[in-house]
Amino acid sequence: MNNLTLFGEGYSYLVPLLLNKSGNGFIHSRFANGFNIKLGDSLVFIGTNKNGLLPFGIHLGEAETRTAVSSVNNSDSAVWNQKTNSLEFQTFTISLEKAKQYKTVLTKLKSEQVFDRSFELFYSHLKTINEQTGLDVSIRDFIDKFQADCEQNWLGVESYLIMLIKAAKTSDELLMDKALRYFLGRGNGLTPSGDDMIVGLLAFDAVSGFLSTRFYEKLSELIEGESITTDVAKEYLRYALKQEYSSTVSDMVNALASGNDSNFKQVFRNLLGVGHSSGLDTLMGILIGMITSKTTTNN
C-alpha cells in the first residue's frame, strides 16, 4: 500500500485549504489527462496542465499523470495526510513537498481606447474560426449579424445569447433567471457548453466590471440551490464567481484588458485548444461579455 510516491509540480494556493478542511475524499471522475477528487462538496483536479493551471488543481508531469490515472478507479478513496503534505491512494501517494504554489492574477481594463483596440483584435481572430460552438452556433455568423446594425430575426440559441446580453445589462431578475437557466447545464460533457460560456462572460467582467452584484447572486443561487448542471461545471462556476480562473482563461482576458498584443495569438490558441469545445465556448462567453460591456458603456 502506498509503495509509490509521485511528486506534484504545482498546486493552486487554494488547494491546501480544501485538503485541510475535508481530508478524506474519493475519485469522482477520471480521463486521459487527470482525474477529479471529491472532497465534501468540492473538487480537486489532479493531472497535467494541458488545459492550463486550474484554481482547484494539483498538477503532475505527463508520465506521473499516466501512472496516477492508470492506478485509480472511480469511487476509490483518497486521504490527505497533513503531516507528510501528501494525498494517499490505495497503491501510491502524491506528495506536494517539491511542488510550487501558484495563483493566477487578473489585470483590470486599462482604458476605453484599449478596450476598443482589443475588441477589434478579438473580433478578427474569432472570425477566422470555422468550427461551431458546442451549442451549434457559428461565432463568425453571429458577429456578422450583430455588426449588421439592424433589427435581426434572432432564432434558436442566438436568440438566447441576445437575451443573455440584455439580462447582463438589466436588473430584471426574471430575465436573468430565464437566460441563465437556458445555458446552465446545456450541452454535453463534464463541463457543458453553456456553462463554459457563462465562465467566459464572468471572466471578462472580472477585468472590466459591468455585471451587477445581483447577477452574481442569481447565478450562485441557481448552481447552489438546484441540480442544474454537472459537478465539474459547478466547481468552475463557483471559482468564477470568486474571480478565480484557469490560467488559459485569465491569460486571455488579461491580454484583452492590458492591450498587450505581443502574445495575443498564443493565449488565444491556448484557450481555443482546451477540451473538445470548451475553449471555443469560453471564447464565445468572453465575446458576449465584451459586447455587453461595450453596449452598456455606449447606452
Give me the average pLDDT of each 10-residue run along the chain (299 residues). Answer: 85 94 90 93 95 97 96 95 94 96 95 95 95 94 82 86 94 94 93 97 97 96 96 96 98 95 94 94 97 76
Contact (Cβ atoms closer than 8 angstroms) between residue 138 and residue 132: yes
Q: Is 231 helix (H, G, I), strand (E, B) or coil?
A: helix
- Three cell numbers at 160? 438566447
Give the C-alpha separation, 240 to 224, whole Å: 14
Give the pLDDT of residue 146.
87
Give the pLDDT of residue 237.
98
**Which residue's entry shows cell 454535453?**
188
Q: Looking at domain 5-102, does it have CATH number 2.40.440? A: yes
Residue spans of the domains in the chain: they are 5-102, 112-298
Residue 140 CB partners (closer than 8 Å, separation 6+): 126, 127, 129, 130
Give the pLDDT of residue 2.
56
Paired with 144 in beta bridges are none
| DSSP string across 25-88 | EEEEEEETTEEEEEETTEEEEEE-STT---TTEEE--HHHHHHHHHT--TT-EEEEETTTTEEE
Indicate the pTM of the whole model: 0.95
Residue 193 CB partners (closer than 8 Å, separation 6+): 133, 134, 135, 186, 187, 277, 278, 281
Give the pLDDT of residue 36.
97
Give the pLDDT of residue 150.
60
Contact (Cβ atoms closer than 8 angstroms) between residue 248 and residue 207: no
Give the C-alpha separation, 299 to 287, whole Å: 18
Q: Is the dihedral of CA 26, 197, 239, 234 positive or negative?
A: negative
Nearest CA among 246, 231, 243 for reference residue 278: 246
Give the C-alpha separation, 279 to 183, whole Å: 16
- Three cell numbers at 209? 466590471
Give the C-alpha separation, 295 to 299, whole Å: 6
End-to-end CA distance of the chain: 64
Give the pLDDT of residue 151.
64
